[in-house]
């Protein structure tokens, strides 16, 4: 096994893991505030088409990413109004958001099939990003570094800042947080918007980095994997990285198995692996945490104090 | 002026019936505006999606055919939703049921008796239930959230179907298309009951609607399911087992999805192919909520959603909207029905 091969495997794993990492980082904040948003897949698709369309129009991928984040946050507000202001069921509403995102992205995307957008240029000098060895550190899309920076930022925010403490308090005990004067609903709106923005960026990674093209349902269920990843990580930012790269390794295995014509197991076996693994991982994690002490105590429960 | 929500002492019966109707009407209005603003013919789209399938009699068979699986699946899901057991993987159970039924067909190509349809259908029910048993087992034994596991299994079922129709079950005379060999004449149900536009699945759905209605409103079991969902601690106190409710609702909803799958395969397609999954399992979730989790409501809601399915296809060819348009109307409808729920439990108070 050559160094070159190992490096290209690492690059594939990191690249393919990044969108689920981005989306899961956002969802950790949402769930820490006590809200379960199942609509990640839909928000990702909205981000994917918006990022693509804006990049296509402006030829600037950075504007595309900003637009993807904004669109993700905007569509998440539909969910926010329903579950926060109207106290609707979070599971059903999240699902509605996923269905809406799938439909809306397909509708907007019909005009963009077959188009190509300019890609990000590397933020590092080509001496580093193109170097056969150093590309393992410097050769990624800027979004990969943004994803890692966001993990640190979110970990720091949750554990080291006062605002992070308040967010966790809202998710652990909404009534207490409310009674000492924090706006439970307001904080949850912000958390949902952040989750939407991160899912939007995650989606744009598909249409702007993985393939610089738009295709219907191109996120292919990765949004649901991101939700499983949050449980896997025990709602801790640091552990998300480990989990994301684990899933990334599985998806890479699928790619290599297909490319090498590796015939002793059918390609569908490899394609179903990330989902099977997600189930196994969820089972192991949930068994270890039978009492449910790791999950935010108010996760999924509506908060309507004046009723 | 501020709007405040005030809890009603009793859920409003009027709102319970009025909000689903209002949701459909609002969906039509918002949809027209949305499509107009996206540069399509808004009124034309709405007309084709919601009214053409009702007004054009040659579309009725299509509507009835699409309503059957939606109603069958949603009847089962509604039971689980009442107990707050969230099976969102009905699409996977639908596929698993069809595969199990096709397995029977695969081994009995030479059987000429029409009775072979019975073991095929039974296998379909069992296949769907078995697929749903996985999340039930994980939920009750290991406390794994059924929402994610049931959903992940949809993707696994899709890959399994893909593997079988391109691999071991591929039709040797199928010109290399990813499909199974056609079922034999004995293994087929008719598209529709002779002389009518009604597919056999819809007749079965109607019968099962009555059964579910009886169970939900008259049996101890139906009561138990509602109590477990509405007041888990009261249910424990009354000795109702939450685990038994998880198992039974998942097995029933999985079995219903499997039944829908095998009926679709044997009465409509006559074989399995890659195009078999048609999102019925996901759309049925909308049917369940639009029908207010009540069997009769579900039956009506299933027909409404089937209309949007058929209408979406009509609109594609006549007013040239993309194929996803029907899906957008369905998602809008679910949002509005969920928003309408609040009016059942709360009243709006306007304060200056």
pLDDT in tens, A193-206: 999 999 999 999 99
Would you call B17 helix, strand, or coil by DSSP?
A: helix
CA distance, residue B267 to nearest chain A CA (Å): 28
- Residues of chain B with C-beta less than 8 angstroms from the C-beta of A103: 324-325, 327-328, 330-331
Q: Which residues pair with A274 in a beta bridge?
A: none
- Is A305 a residue whose pLDDT tops 70? no
* B148 vs A107, A282, A306: nearest CB: A282
**Confidence category of residue A307, pLDDT binned at 50, 70, 90:** very low
Distance CA A29, CA A37 (A): 11
Rounded mean pLDDT of B141-156?
A: 91
The residue count for chain A: 307
Cβ <8 Å between B322 and A106? yes
Rounded mean pLDDT of A80-105?
A: 90
Phi (first) and psi of residue A87, to 5 degrees:
60, 35
Q: What is the pLDDT of residue A262?
A: 62
* B144 vs A38, A269, A286: nearest CB: A286
Number of H helices, E strands in chain A: 13, 0
> Is residue A306 less than 8 Å (CB to CB) from chain B?
yes
> What is the token pair recorded at A147?
């994803």
**Location of structure tokens 């699986």:** B69
pLDDT in tens, B196-216: 889 999 999 999 999 999 999
**Confidence category of residue B328, pLDDT binned at 50, 70, 90:** confident
Q: pTM score, two decimals?
A: 0.90
* Average confidence score pLDDT of chain B: 90
- Residues of chain B with C-beta less than 8 angstroms from the C-beta of A37: none
pLDDT in tens, B236-291: 888 888 899 999 999 999 999 999 999 999 999 999 999 899 889 999 999 999 99
Q: How many CB atoms lie within 10 A of CB B16?
A: 17
Alpha carbon distances (Å) from A207 to A99, A157, A212: 19, 29, 5
CB of A7 closer than 8 Å to CB of A136: yes
CB of A197 closer than 8 Å to CB of A26: yes
**Confidence category of residue A192, pLDDT binned at 50, 70, 90:** very high
> What is the token pair recorded at A101?
């995102």
**Confidence category of residue A30, pLDDT binned at 50, 70, 90:** very high
Between B191 and A58, name the one with better pLDDT.
A58
Of the ranges A148-157, A168-177, A232-241, A254-263, which is most confident? A148-157
Phi (first) and psi of residue B350, to 5 degrees:
-95, 125
Q: What is the pLDDT of residue A156?
A: 96
- Is A148 a residue whose pLDDT tops 70? yes
% chain B with pLDDT above 70: 99
Phi (first) and psi of residue B180, to 5 degrees:
-85, 170
């Amino acid at each position: 096994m050559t160094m070159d091969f190992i490096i290209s495997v690492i690059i594939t794993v990191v690249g393919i893991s990044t969108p689920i990492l981005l989306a899961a980082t956002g969802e950790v904040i949402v769930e820490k505030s006590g809200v379960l948003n199942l609509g990640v897949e839909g928000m990702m698709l909205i981000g994917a088409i918006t990022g693509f369309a804006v990049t296509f129009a402006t030829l600037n991928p950075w504007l595309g990413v900003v637009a993807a984040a904004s669109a993700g946050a905007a569509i998440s507000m539909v969910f926010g109004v329903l579950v926060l202001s109207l106290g609707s069921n979070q599971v059903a509403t999240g699902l509605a958001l996923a269905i809406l995102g799938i439909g809306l992205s397909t509708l907007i995307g019909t005009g963009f099939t077959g188009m190509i957008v300019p890609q990000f240029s590397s933020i590092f000098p080509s001496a580093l990003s193109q170097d056969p060895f150093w590309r393992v550190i410097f050769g990624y899309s800027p979004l990969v570094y943004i994803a890692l920076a966001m993990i640190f930022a979110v970990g720091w925010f949750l554990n080291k800042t006062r605002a992070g403490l308040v967010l966790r308090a809202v998710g652990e005990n909404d009534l207490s947080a409310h009674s000492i004067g924090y706006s439970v609903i307001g904080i949850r709106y912000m958390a949902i918007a952040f989750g939407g923005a991160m899912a939007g960026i995650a989606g744009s990674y598909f249409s702007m980095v993985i393939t610089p093209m738009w295709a219907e349902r191109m996120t292919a269920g990765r949004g649901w994997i991101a939700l499983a990843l949050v449980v896997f990580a025990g709602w801790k930012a640091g552990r998300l990285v480990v989990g994301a790269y684990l899933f990334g390794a599985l998806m890479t295995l699928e790619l290599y198995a297909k490319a090498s014509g590796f015939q002793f197991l059918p390609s569908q076996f490899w394609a179903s692996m990330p989902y099977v693994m997600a189930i196994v991982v969820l089972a192991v994690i949930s068994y270890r945490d039978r009492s449910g002490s790791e999950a935010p105590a108010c996760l999924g429960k509506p908060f309507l104090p004046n009723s | 002026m501020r709007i405040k929500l005030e809890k009603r002492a009793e859920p409003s019966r009027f709102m319970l019936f009025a909000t689903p109707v209002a949701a459909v009407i609002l969906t039509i209005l918002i949809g027209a505006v949305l499509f107009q603003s996206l540069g399509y013919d808004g009124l034309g789209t709405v007309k084709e999606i919601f009214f053409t399938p009702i007004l054009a009699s040659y579309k009725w068979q299509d509507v009835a055919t699409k309503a059957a699986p939606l109603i069958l699946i949603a009847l089962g899901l509604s039971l689980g939703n009442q107990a707050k057991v969230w099976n969102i993987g009905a699409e996977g159970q639908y596929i698993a049921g069809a595969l199990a039924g096709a397995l029977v067909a695969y081994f009995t190509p030479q059987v000429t008796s029409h009775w072979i349809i019975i073991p095929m259908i039974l296998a379909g029910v069992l296949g769907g239930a078995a697929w749903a048993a996985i999340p039930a087992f994980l939920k009750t034994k290991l406390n794994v959230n059924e929402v994610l596991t049931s959903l992940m299994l949809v993707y696994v079922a899709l890959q399994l179907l893909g593997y079988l129709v391109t691999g071991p079950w591929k039709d040797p005379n199928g010109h290399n298309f990813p499909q199974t060999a056609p079922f034999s004449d004995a293994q087929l149900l008719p598209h529709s009951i002779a002389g009518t536009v009604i597919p056999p699945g819809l007749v079965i759905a109607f019968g099962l609607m009555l059964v579910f209605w009886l169970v939900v409103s008259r049996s101890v079991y139906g009561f138990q399911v509602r109590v477990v969902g509405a007041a888990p601690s009261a249910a424990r106190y009354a000795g109702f087992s939450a685990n038994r409710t998880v198992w039974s609702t998942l097995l029933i909803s999985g079995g219903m999805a499997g039944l829908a799958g095998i009926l679709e395969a044997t009465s409509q397609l006559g074989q399995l192919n890659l195009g078999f999954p048609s999102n019925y399992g996901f759309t049925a979730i909308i049917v369940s909520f639009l029908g207010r989790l009540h069997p009769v409501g579900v039956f009506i809601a299933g027909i409404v959603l089937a209309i949007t399915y058929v209408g979406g296809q009509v609109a594609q060819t006549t007013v040239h909207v993309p194929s996803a348009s029907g899906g957008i109307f369905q998602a809008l409808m679910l949002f509005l029905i969920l928003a309408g729920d609040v009016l059942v439990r709360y009243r709006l108070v306007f304060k200056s």
